[in-house]
Chains A and B, each alone.
Chain A
Amino acid sequence: MVELHNVKIKYPTGDGIENVTLKIGPGEIVFLVGPSGAGKSTVLKTIYMEERPVEGHVSVGEYNSLFIRKKDIPYLRRRLGVVFQDFKLLNDRDVFKNVSFVLEVIGAKSKDIKKRVLRSLADVGLSHKSRKYPAELSGGEQQRVAIARAIVNEPYLLLADEPTGNLDPDTTAGIMEIFERINARGTAIMIATHNYELVKKYRGRIIRIEKGKIL
């Protein structure tokens, strides 16, 4: 489903990743574990093609980094869900609009949008807060909105970049439960984290990365 083959990314600062080869199969949970600056985010970025490899190639579904045209990248991203450590919510609109926005962007019908957003918010347990603004929510709640936004389009792969980085242990457990529930429905999940303790507690394949290389 997703495959990185000998991928190399080089940033002007000298950082980057090298010789990264990995696969994610349908319905899998994969933890990408490593310290800060190891290249975890870069790996995720190559999957949603924010970064294009200077060597090797990435294939995601029918798309391949060697052949994909710039104008096709939005269509690739519609098949993936991405959750960020800093949530990237839009502060000028409420929870419902933050989630519905993804469907508006792809031109879904408004009746359809309402149904899917409400289901997604129910999945993360935030139906009752759909009219709240991000600033009125706790960190854990904001992360759940970000997850609702990532799954509303029913992606086959959910990418989460340090999804629990800023959260306390109880909230972290809540978020991980949501991930497991989503995964149980068949969505593959890749979680990038520096938290080894977290990885030990939950089932899933572990890929270790350090200094831009897979160990």
Chain B
Amino acid sequence: MKLLYSIKEAFAGFSRARFSFFISVFAISFLLFLIGIFGMITLNVDHLIDVLHARVDIQVFISNIYDDTQIARLGSTLSALPEVESVEFISKDAAAREFQKEFGEELFSILEDNPLPSSFIVKLREKYRTETEVARVAQTVKNIPGVDDIEYQTGALSLLTRFSGIARFVNAILLVIVISGSVFVITNTIRLIIIAKQDIINTMRLVGATNSYISRPYLIEGIIQGLLGGLIASCLCWILIKGFNWRWPGVIFINMDYLYILIGGGLVIGWLSSLFAIRRYL
């Protein structure tokens, strides 16, 4: 009964401040949409970083004069390093097959014997897969007897990591702008509704309505505005993602869960703003 009254009053409130209501829903949608776009960029860069991270490894070329026993011992030495997750052996033959796959040429048709060294692919543990750590471990490995040469690639990773940092920073700033902007517009709408209903609010007070009873419709109003804003923003993001994937398939990775975060975020922002407006103006 009481809740029904609050909901009815909440909707009646919108008709009293219709223009302000639309402006605020529009503004929240736009702001959350911005967050959505940057969130999407961050998510994609992070995903790419994850993919690259998984590929970070050091190829350790073994001296040609080493025999099988010595190679096996070198493998154990590498596995025993605290930074190492796994060690995979690539034999001379496997290397030759790989070479052939890559260059399409029978290696032995040019040369009599196989000049390619056998090697280990050393994969590091997750936390050591950064540019500096990889370089440090590589240096250690290089000094182990029997290691002829090493090879690793971290350039793209460090570039992306830096870009991801920037994207996160922009996102954080946007988040502050979105939250304060939304709080401002919702608070203003509710303030207008409260002013329009000052008489009824005063009368309610005089006949013994509690503050929570008086304020509930405004709380619902704020939540509805935030929720609508979140819904519209997530629809726009969804359309954008679908459009992008249609035009450039497979370029965008997206976890759709994050659209729910936009809706939930809108709801929470609406709720907090109306709480703020009620404290301030009621």
Contacts and interface: CB of A to CB of B under 8 A. Distances in A.
A105 B207 contact: yes
A90 B200 contact: yes
A90 B2 CA distance: 19
Contacts of B204: 101, 105
A14 interface: no
A137 B262 CA distance: 51
B208 interface: yes
A61 to B, nearest CB: 13
Contact of B2 (A74, A102, A107, A153): A107
A88 B208 contact: no
Interface in B1-19: 1-2, 5
Interface stretch (A75-83, A114-122, A170-178, A189-197): A75-83
Interface string B195-219: 0000110111111111101000000
Given A90-B200, A104-B5, A110-B1, A71 B210 contact: yes
A66 interface: no
B208 A75 contact: yes
Given A88-B202, A90-B203, A105 B1 contact: no
B196 to A, nearest CB: 11
B207 A77 contact: yes
Interface in A102-151: 102, 104-107, 109-110, 149
Contacts of B5: 104
A107 B208 contact: no
Would you call the interface of chain B mostly helix, strand, loop, or mixed? helix
A82 B209 contact: no
Contacts of B206: 48, 50, 77, 82, 88
Contacts of B199: 88, 90
B213 A105 contact: yes
Nearest to B5: A104
A105 B2 CA distance: 8
A107 B216 CA distance: 14
Q: How large is the interface on A (under 10, 10 to 19, 20 to 34, 35 or more residues)?
A: 20 to 34
Interface residues of B, number: 16
B1 A107 contact: yes
A48 B5 CA distance: 26
A74 B200 contact: no
Nearest to B200: A90
Contacts of B202: 88
B207 A102 contact: yes
Interface string B1-39: 110010000000000000000000000000000000000
A169 to B, nearest CB: 28
Contact of B208 (A74, A90, A92, A109): A74
Nearest to B204: A105
Contact of A88 (B1, B203, B210, B211): B203
A149 B204 CA distance: 12
B279 to A, nearest CB: 13
Contacts of A107: 1-2
Interface in B174-230: 199-200, 202-211, 213
A82 to B, nearest CB: 6
A75 B200 CA distance: 18
Nearest to B207: A102
Nearest to A101: B207
Contacts of A74: 205, 208-211
A184 to B, nearest CB: 24
Contacts of B200: 90, 92
Interface string A165-207: 0000000000000000000000000000000000000000000
A106 B211 contact: no
Interface in B48-68: none
Nearest to B2: A107
Contacts of A78: 207-208
A5 B2 CA distance: 38
A189 to B, nearest CB: 17
Closest 9 CB pairs of A and B: A78-B208, A77-B208, A105-B209, A74-B208, A102-B207, A74-B210, A88-B203, A107-B2, A90-B200
Given A75-B208, A101-B207, A104-B1, 8 more contacts: A74-B209, A77-B205, A77-B208, A88-B202, A90-B199, A90-B203, A110-B1, A149-B207
Interface of B: 1-2, 5, 199-200, 202-211, 213
8 contacts: A74-B211, A77-B205, A88-B199, A90-B199, A90-B200, A105-B207, A106-B208, A149-B207
Interface of A: 48, 50, 71, 74-78, 82, 88, 90, 92, 101-102, 104-107, 109-110, 149, 153
